[in-house]
Structures are given as C-alpha cells and as structure tokens.
Structure 1
Amino acid sequence: MKKLNLILFLASFSLLFQSCNDNNDDFDLPVSTGETTVYDLGTKDVSGISGKATFVENTDASVTIVLDIDGTPAGGMHPAHIHLNSALEGGDIALTLNAVNGDNGKSVTTFSTLNDGTSINYSQLLNFDGYINVHLSADELGTIVAQGDIGQNALTGESKTYDLGEKDVAGISGNVTFSKRANGETLATLMIDGTPAGGIHPAHIHANTAAESGAILFSFTPVNGDTGMSVTNINAFDDGSPFMYSDIEGLDAYVNVHLSANALGTIVSQGDIGQNDLTGTTKTYDLGEKDVTGISGDVIFSERVNGEALATLMIDGTPAGGMHPAHIHANTAAESGAILYTFTPVNGDTGMSVSNVATFDDGSAFMFSDIEGLDAYVNVHLSANALGTIVSQGDIGQNDLTGTTKTYDLGEKDIAGISGDVIFSERVNGEALATLMIDGTPAGGMHPAHIHANTAAESGAILYTFTPVNGDTGMSVSNVAAFDDGSAFMFSDIEGLDAYINVHLSATALGTIVSQGDIGQNDLSGESKAYVLAEKDVPGISGTATFYKRVNNTALAVLNIQNTPAGGMHPAHIHENDAATGGAIAFTFNVVNGDTGMSNTQVETLDDNTAITYDDILSFDGYINVHLSATQLGTIVAQGNIGSNE
C-alpha cells in the first residue's frame, strides 16, 4: 500500500518534473521498483523547519529523491544539495537537487549522475558518504533550514547514552550520546545544562575510570556554552587507531568536560562510560560516629558493567582542609582486623571520597559481587598522622546489620545508680553485634561482663565473655558468633537462651556486680502478680511476694520484706493449703537478706521436683511464711495466702 501511494504521489508531480528537468524536455515519468529509503532532515539554523528525504529506486536505474519539508515559509524557494562527507565534517556539493517549494515544502529530483557526471545508482547512493542541506534561499545559502546525513553516514537508530554529573562547578551536568552510523562510525552528542554563556568547554574521553583518572584517548568538539552542545564524528582515537561504535560498550574510559582551555583543571561535568558505566545496582552501608562526635555518613558501592564497583564515601561533619584516610578492614568492627582495601582519602572540605574497586591491596580480585559476602568493616581516620582516632566506622558485607534487634534490661545490683541494657543486633550472616550501654559507671574503670547459664536468681557458669565495658563511655561492643567453649552462638539462639548477664566492678572485684539482668527465655514478659505478706509473730515486719512471669512461663519470685533486722537471714517457703489451715512445705525460697529485706528465687519446680509454671502459681492452693531465722522457724515474721487462697 505504501509503494502504491508513493507511485501516485510521484505521478502528481509529473508536471513539476518536466519544468524542473532542464536536461530532458521529453521527460517520461520513471517507474519505481518499489525500493525506497527514508532519511530524516532535522532542524538546523531556523527552528520549526524539518522533514525527510525519500530515495526511490527506478526501473531505468535512475533515482528519484523526494524532499518533504515542514514549516517552510510560503512563497519561498529553498535550494537543496547532497554534499560529500558527514554533516559534521562538511563537504563540497555532489548533487544539486530541485529547490523546495515553500508553499508545499516539496521537491522532486530524478537523476542517474552526480554534478560531475559520475554515474550513481540506488544501491551506490545508499552507501554514499554524504549529507543533505536545505537552505533558506539562493541569497542566504549560509542559513541551513534542514539537514541530515544519508547513505553510510545515516544513523541506524542504535545509540548509547551516559550521564555526565556535576564535578567542580555546581549546577553543570548533562549526558553524552553515542549514535551508530550505517558505516559503523559514531555521532557523539554532548548535551550539557548550566554552561555559562559565551564559553567554550573542551571535552575528552580519558582512559580508566574517573575515580582513577587517565590519559586523553579522544578529543570531542568543544561544548558551546551558549547551547551546551557538542557534536563530533568518531572513527579514530586521537592517536589514529580505529575507534568505532562497536568499541564503545567495552571501553575502559570516562568523559571530562572542562571549564575552558585555560582552566583544564576545573572539570564542570564528568562521567564513566563503556564498561565503567554503572548498572544502577548499589549497596549502601552506614558509617556511624566513633571517636569524634558529629562525624558520620555512609559508603555506597555502585556496580559497573564490567563487574567492578565505584565506592563513594559521603561523610558529614569532617573538618575543613583535612584529608581522612579510609580503609576496609577484615572481620567486624567489634573484633578489628588487618587492612584489606585502601580508599582514596576523604576530602574534609567536601566529605567525599571516590575509588574504583577491582582488587584488594594485595592484588587479589575484589568485585561488586564480592561485597555482600565480605567479612569486613570500614574505618575513616582523623588524619594520616592520627590513624588511631577513628572518626567514622561501620560494618559491611555479611557483617551488616539487618535491623532486627533484641534488647534486655540490666538493672542495679550491688552498687546503686549503675544500670543499663544490652542490645543484640542481627547481622546478615546470622551472627550478632552485642552492645552494652551502662549508665553510671565510674570514669577510668574497665568492667568485665559475661553471659552466665541459668537465671540470675540461680546463678551459673560463664557461657560468653563480652568486651569489657569502658567506664568512661559505659559502652562495650562484641561480636557474637560462638560461646567461650567454641560452640556456635548465633542471633537466632538468643531468644531461647537460658541465661543472664553480669557486669562486674573490675577484674579484681568480680564479686561486686554493678548491673545484672536475665536474657533469652528468662526475660520477663511484663506480666506479674503481687501478694501481701502481713505481720505475724513480730510486729512491724511485713511485705510482698511478687511473681514475675518469664518468657518461658516460669517465674521470678521477689520477696520484699520491710523492717527485717539487720544481719539476719530469714528462711521463707510456700506451704500447701491456706494459712489458717496450715500445711507442708511445697517450695523453698532463697532466704531473705535482713540487711535488704530482699529474696530473689527462680520458680520452675516444687521441692519434690514437680514442675510449676507462672500460670500454676496463680491458682495454687498455698500460702507463704517468712521465718525469723533457721533456728527459729516457729517464729513467723510475715505471712500471706497466695494463688487460689488470695
């Protein structure tokens, strides 16, 4: 159908052929073979004028070119030519086409030779090294209203675009588009926004990544500051070696756009291209405050097409003028380890560092795909002369935190005013970061801390040793992966752990516990039941018995007895039946300390080893007696019904 319409269109212009073809007064309308090729003619010096050129193969070996231009001013006649070379390069006229009629935007020309008499056919024209210009008028040939490459210079429609971001001058950025020509060469178009009017901005392709820098490989036509544009034909590097469109995706290179020829050191826009282009896949890790408050940030690893990575550190709060060394270290930050990789130092003025990641410092491969599995952390240091001062730090790779945490309270114990909590944070690899935060620790002290077996009320052996708590900060960070005996100890084990934590006064005063708390299955659920223990045989002594439900449905029993005589130890029991009836001892509490009036006891079995849960206690047929002493059990200082007898 399209071929038929084209033949009818050509027939409608038969009179125009006869009037325009001075070489053949007896012109007969050529017959099309049905083969056509269309080339776009884009806007050039006059906005709003563009169109297309249709090449038609005829049966007599001639060629008809139909120009169809939109936006031409009425009444005008617009000269048109085929020129040698690409439009970017420019060249002499090879063939003069009939002028475009401004009233209808049409021009039809049939030919079989170029202006110099050289024969040319349809297939040769499709491989011709040329372009078409349509001019404003015969008197204004310098004004080109439409233009387009043809033949081997035509664009195939295949292209590759790379971002060119801001660099040394804020507000200037853009992109570079490489468009494939039919002959395999490339049209390179730079479009830069924010360039200052009147400026001319040199631009180049450099070897390596922008993070590494490298020598100039190819020089673009400079970017025009008024338009932000640069167009360049690419078929060879600056050294003359071939450089075709097919080479671009594999190119180990980046593009720089400079402020001016006199200020090449100022790069206004920059971006990686080819195999160094970014895929859009990234991995970001937090870098928190460490030894200097107010300095923190993150590190972003961005995947490249070639599998390497662009590492970008963005650190807030760095002091102006400083240069801050930064490294990837082995292990977790809590454990510390050797340097694996050295970043470009962080610039204190900008807080930025960009590095290409392809190998570790020892030369072994280190690709983007390795990052998530890396057993490592990042340190950013104050300066090359103060490496011991870490301004920002964070775990990465398999040591990154998932965001899942479990927190347990660590209450006061032997020294009033010292308490805190322990936070277990899950890592990607299933291990845990354990952070103890203890308030009220004396300055200068170091406080050993451990996980013990059983409940705090029962006590038990040490299962795990934390890094000691620093008295100046009240902090301790430890990696949890194994118990002290080497058996596995992961984040998933914590909630089921039958254990408690002790924080001690010092390594030489382990008997003094400054903070303590049950964890895991022994943690308190928040549910409790209190019973009144009234005066009995000794006036003025009374209190309460509170049962706290644990996660595992056992109970912590806390007896709080007022006015017990100092220095005494007061046995206490749960008896069967109600107090009025009396009954045998069912459960023995830890004795009440007369100095504090306190007793803490784990309740999970009766004295005969019968299991008893928190829920069982609430319905138990019993009562509590607190005695004056082990030798005066007949003297009951406090008593109260519990369970079903309340």
Structure 2
Amino acid sequence: MKNLLVVCICFMTILSLTNCANDDNITRIESSLVYKVYELNTISDPSVTGYARFVKNEDLSVTIELNLSGLLADQMHPAHIHYNTAAETGAIALTLGTVNSNTGRSEVTITELDDGTPITYEELLDFDGYINVHLSSTNLDILVAQADIGQNELIGVTKTYALLQFDNSEISGSAKFSQRKNGEALATIQLTNAIDGEMHPSHIHRNTALETGEIALTFNPIDGNTGISYTNINQLDDATPFMYENIADFDGYINVHLSETDNSIVSQGDIGRNELTGESVVYDLNEVDVPDISGTASFFRRQNGEALAIIELMNTPVDGMHPGHIHENDAATTGPIMFTFNDVDGSTGISQTNVIQLDDGTPFGYDDVLEVNGYINIHLSASDLNTLVAQGNIGVND
C-alpha cells in the first residue's frame, strides 16, 4: 500500500511538471492589459476583414495595432485617424502605421496627434473620429477598410424601416438607423434597383406619407451605382437636436426621389411613431347597386395607435372618384356618417387614409376600429351619394 502511494505521488508530480511546461508555451494577454478593439469594415473588397486595437501603455503612451486579412500580396496600405464620422468625412488627425499586406499588420505608438496636440488613451476612446485604411499612398481615395471610433462607435442598437416602391418604380429598400456611443445616429439607406449614374436625393418629412409634410431632415444622396447612402444624424435641417432616441417617436416619413433634377418619388416609407406594426384587420366590401364592384377595407395599426386605412375595389370605372364613409350602426339599420375616407380613385380602385379621429374630432385609432358599431359605404360619386357601389359591416358588426 505504501509503495502504491509513492507511485501515485510521483505520477502526480510528473503530471504537474508536464502541465507547467506546456503552460510555458502558451502566449497569454496580460490580465492587466487595458485595450479597446474596433472592427474594421470592408469597403471595396468584401473579403477584407480586420480590427484596430488601442492599447494603453504604462508610460501613458498608446499603441495602435491594425490587423487585416484578405489583402492582396505585396501591397502597402497607409492608414489614418480622421476627424468626424466616416459619413461626414474629415481631415487627417493622426497617421497610423502602414499595413503590410503580406502580414496584414501595422503598429504605431503615439502620445500626440499629427499637429502636436497631446492625446491619451482615454481621450482616444472619446475622440470624434474614424479610421481609414487606403489602397496605397498614390490611391488614397480608394479605401480597403474603415471604422468609426471613439464617441462615434456604433453600439449595436439599430432600427430599420421599410422603403416601399412608389408608383410602380420597382425601387425599394430600407432605412437603418444605428445608435452611436455619443447618442447620435448613422443612417444607412439601401435601395434595390437604384439607377446607375443617378444620385437619388432623400429626406425625412413631417407627418405621414399620406398626409405629406415639409422636409425635416436631408440625407446624403443615394449613389445609384451602389444603392447606398450614409448620413450622420445629430440635428434636423433647422438645427433642432435630433438624436437616435428621437427617431422612434418622430412623426415623419421618408421620401426618395428620382434625381437631383427630377423630384418624382421612387420610394417611400413611414417612420417613427407612424411605422406600421404588422397588426391589421380586413373587412369585406360587398357589391350593392353597381354590378361587379366589390373589394376590401384594410386597417393597419401604427406604432402610435393610429391606423392606415386602405380601400381596394375591383372593377371601378377608370374615370370615377368614389367617396367613402364609416357610418354608425350596421348596414341593415343605417346611420349618420362618422368618418370620411379619401375618395377611391376609379383608375386604381384604391383609397388610402390616415385614421386619427372621427369627423367631429373624437379620437379614433386602430383599437377603436375593432370596437366601432359601424359600417362602410362607398358611393358612386360626390354628386350621386344615393347609389352605393360597395358596402360592408365593420368593428363589432363584422
């Protein structure tokens, strides 16, 4: 038994020594190392990925390391920190080490900006700037990687709104708002079927797209060749502060226009409190006095509790304009008008109306539609309200 115990102790000692020897071959980052990593985003070549690491040194200097993969061999890529956000662009604030594409790495240790202004690790983490990695010293306009840093860093909080085609333009997409560390936002608009060679102006307008309204904020134009626009958001056009947190409750919509010389709308979408939540209800509108005309009335809930009403009729006369209303009671009982829709356009069979209140000013939103004691009448024309082209019970009468 004693011999067995000796053997076990010897074995454990050898195992312990062996593990220590293996540990000596492992490269560890010092637990006391203070650093911050920023992801570098690809620009011209999707295969390029990488990061920038800012390391705080004991002597209060800062080492800035760049590490990229997917680069072409035998290239030298200059890199800089610029003032402002990448969407705004700005002058060079600090020259970084040139990235050797064969290693994908560069490193520089600094204590000041290029103009001699002292800068610390903490100040860099709050710096209003971005990193550019360029194709070469003779092609500085071509970027291989980029990242917003410091107070401009994107923190991972986003909100995306759909941009729908307008008037059969076949141009649609999205507007994505990303929150920055300083509370501002990066707006990224991406379109499919944008027109090569065109620059598409775009704006946030006040109110819903149906109501229309004045321009509140101007985005950078969308490049038709890429379908993309980037804009930094921190104030409206009238200089009113406008941060990421203000977007969700904003009463507005986005318009994208055909070109800088043609304001025709090609894509559009409600945003903020006007966004559609995906919740909806559909009521049938049945044929009445005019043969073959029937359809539906759909109500879509907005974030603010209001509703978008879309009436769609089949077989309407192309030159007709058809008034529509919600009446009190059910269709068999009949009753007075409560709410007036925008007229149904006979050429399309469609009417769209924002639903906020009844004709007498009583608040009336999506939830009220579900509970209303009412019915819808669609009339032949404003001069012949007695002729009904479609009718249907809604709310509690459905």
The TM-score normalised by the length of structure 1 is 0.56
- Paired with 1:224 and 1:270, the residues of 2 have a C-alpha distance of 17
Matched, 1:216 2:215: yes
- Paired with 2:46 and 2:195, the residues of 1 have a C-alpha distance of 22
The offset of 1:132, in angstroms, is: 0.4
Structure 1: 5+ residue runs without aligned partners? 11-30, 401-646
The offset of 1:196, in angstroms, is: 2.1
Matched, 1:133 2:139: no
Report the 3-state secondary structure (helix = DSSP H, G, I; strand = E; otherwise coil) of the residue aligned with 1:388. strand
Q: Which residue number in structure 2 is paired with residue 350 of structure 1?
A: 348
Amino acid at match of 1:334: A
Amino acid at match of 1:59: E
CA deviations 1:250-280 (Å, max 9, x no partner) are: 101111111223332x211111100111111
Report the 3-state secondary structure (helix = DSSP H, G, I; strand = E; otherwise coil) of the residue aligned with 2:197. coil
- Give the conservation status (yes or no) of the 8 Å contact 2:322–2:346: yes
Q: CA RMSD in A?
A: 1.7
Matched, 1:153 2:152: yes
The offset of 1:109, in angstroms, is: 1.6
The offset of 1:34, in angstroms, is: 2.2
Cα separation, partners in 2 of 1:92 and 1:170, compared to 1, 3 Å: closer
Q: Which residue number in structure 2 is paired with residue 122 of structure 1?
A: 121
Matched, 1:364 2:359: no
The offset of 1:386, in angstroms, is: 1.5
The offset of 1:32, in angstroms, is: 8.3
Amino acid at match of 1:188: A
The offset of 1:9, in angstroms, is: 7.8
Q: Which residue number in structure 1 is paired with residue 391 of structure 2?
A: 393
Report the 3-state secondary structure (helix = DSSP H, G, I; strand = E; otherwise coil) of the residue aligned with 1:369. helix
- Give the conservation status (yes or no) of the 8 Å contact 2:286–2:390: yes
Amino acid at match of 2:322: H
- Paired with 1:268 and 1:45, the residues of 2 have a C-alpha distance of 27
Report the 3-state secondary structure (helix = DSSP H, G, I; strand = E; otherwise coil) of the residue aligned with 1:393. strand
Matched, 1:231 2:230: yes
Q: Which residue number in structure 1 is paired with residue 249 of structure 2?
A: 250
- Paired with 2:242 and 2:139, the residues of 1 have a C-alpha distance of 37
Matched, 1:333 2:327: no
Aligned pairs, how many? 374
Match for 1:310 among 301, 308, 311?
308
- Paired with 1:209 and 1:274, the residues of 2 have a C-alpha distance of 10
- Paired with 2:329 and 2:397, the residues of 1 have a C-alpha distance of 8
- Give the conservation status (yes or no) of the 8 Å contact 1:382–1:389: yes
Report the 3-state secondary structure (helix = DSSP H, G, I; strand = E; otherwise coil) of the residue aligned with 1:371. helix
CA deviations 1:502-526 (Å, max 9, x no partner) are: xxxxxxxxxxxxxxxxxxxxxxxxx
The offset of 1:170, in angstroms, is: 3.5
- Give the conservation status (yes or no) of the 8 Å contact 2:54–2:65: yes
CA deviations 1:229-265 (Å, max 9, x no partner) are: 111111110111111111000101111111223332x
Q: Which residue number in structure 1 is paired with residue 202 of structure 2?
A: 203
Mapping for residues 527-546 of structure 1, pairs under 5 Å: none
Q: Which residue number in structure 2 is paired with residue 632 of structure 1?
A: none
Report the 3-state secondary structure (helix = DSSP H, G, I; strand = E; otherwise coil) of the residue aligned with 2:384. coil
- Paired with 1:95 and 1:226, the residues of 2 have a C-alpha distance of 32
- Paired with 1:346 and 1:138, the residues of 2 have a C-alpha distance of 61
- Paired with 2:352 and 2:125, the residues of 1 have a C-alpha distance of 47
- Paired with 1:213 and 1:376, the residues of 2 have a C-alpha distance of 28
Q: Which residue number in structure 2 is paired with residue 277 of structure 1?
A: 275
Cα separation, partners in 2 of 1:57 and 1:188, compared to 1, 3 Å: same
Structure 2: 5+ residue runs without aligned partners? 1-22
- Paired with 2:314 and 2:63, the residues of 1 have a C-alpha distance of 67
Matched, 1:107 2:106: yes
- Taking only the aligned residue pairs, the percentage that are identical comes to 52
Matched, 1:373 2:371: yes
- Paired with 2:189 and 2:39, the residues of 1 have a C-alpha distance of 20
Mapping for residues 261-300 of structure 1, pairs under 5 Å: 261-264=260-263, 266-300=264-298
Amino acid at match of 1:78: H
Amino acid at match of 2:50: G
Q: Which residue number in structure 2 is paired with residue 73 of structure 1?
A: 72
Q: Which residue number in structure 2 is paired with residue 474 of structure 1?
A: none
- Paired with 2:28 and 2:254, the residues of 1 have a C-alpha distance of 48
Q: Which residue number in structure 2 is paired with residue 573 of structure 1?
A: none
- Paired with 1:399 and 1:263, the residues of 2 have a C-alpha distance of 47
Q: Which residue number in structure 1 is paired with residue 141 of structure 2?
A: 142
Amino acid at match of 2:147: G
Report the 3-state secondary structure (helix = DSSP H, G, I; strand = E; otherwise coil) of the residue aligned with 2:124. helix
CA deviations 1:184-211 (Å, max 9, x no partner) are: 1111011111222222211110111111
CA deviations 1:102-122 (Å, max 9, x no partner) are: 012111221111111211111
Cα separation, partners in 2 of 1:239 and 1:135, compared to 1, 3 Å: same
The offset of 1:33, in angstroms, is: 4.2
- Paired with 2:166 and 2:111, the residues of 1 have a C-alpha distance of 54
Cα separation, partners in 2 of 1:80 and 1:267, compared to 1, 3 Å: same
Greater relative CO (CA pairs within 8 A, separation 6+)? 2
- Give the conservation status (yes or no) of the 8 Å contact 2:169–2:267: no
- Give the conservation status (yes or no) of the 8 Å contact 1:255–1:272: yes
- Paired with 1:35 and 1:60, the residues of 2 have a C-alpha distance of 13
Amino acid at match of 1:158: V
Report the 3-state secondary structure (helix = DSSP H, G, I; strand = E; otherwise coil) of the residue aligned with 2:265. strand
Amino acid at match of 1:210: A
- Give the conservation status (yes or no) of the 8 Å contact 1:162–1:277: yes
The offset of 1:50, in angstroms, is: 2.9
The offset of 1:8, in angstroms, is: 4.6
The offset of 1:47, in angstroms, is: 3.8
- Paired with 1:95 and 1:311, the residues of 2 have a C-alpha distance of 55
- Paired with 2:196 and 2:116, the residues of 1 have a C-alpha distance of 46
